[in-house]
Amino acid sequence: MPKVTFVHPDGCRETVEGDSGVSIMQLATSKRIGGIIGECGGAAMCTTCHVFVDPAHVESTGNPNEIEDEMLEVTATERQTTSRLGCQIVLTDQMDGLVLHLPETQ
Ligand code: FES
């Protein structure tokens, strides 16, 4: 099971394990990671699953598609170059060790 570490704005880190095939949003909400809401249920419509992918892991998580890219323009916390919607990142075994930073607000 791949491990994912969520880093809160205050620097607090939470590491959880998840099954391949679930989204980062699903993983975070099922493990009660504060700061990931997932209000639209993963439809890329709410941006309450915004995360900043650690630069070392950008390659394994890929790039946003067109719809996700548009939604990243309206996030509560300003978009950064490594911003993604957690509901659009599907966990794979190759992502083991993934580090995601959480924004101040969703
Ligand atoms: Fe709504 Fe990701 S859960 S955009």
What residue ranges do the domains of the chain occupy? Answer: 3-101
Cα(63)–Cα(100) distance, integer angstroms? 15
Task: State the distance from the centre of ligand 1 to the C-alpha of 26, rounded, in angstroms.
Answer: 10
Residue 47: Cβ within 10 Å count: 24
pLDDT at residue 101 in the model: 98
Say yes or no: CB of residue 102 within 6 Å of ligand 1: no
Residue 89 pLDDT:
98
Q: What gap in Å lies between CA 106 and CA 94, rounded to an integer?
A: 27
Task: Average the pLDDT over 3-18 and give the result.
Answer: 98
Ligand 1 contacts CB of residue 24 (under 6 A): no
CATH architecture of 3-101: Roll (3.10)
64 Cβ below 6 A of ligand 1:
no
For residues 88-95, average pLDDT: 97
| Segment 51-84, tens digit of pLDDT | 999 999 999 999 999 999 999 999 999 999 999 9
- The model carries a pTM of 0.96
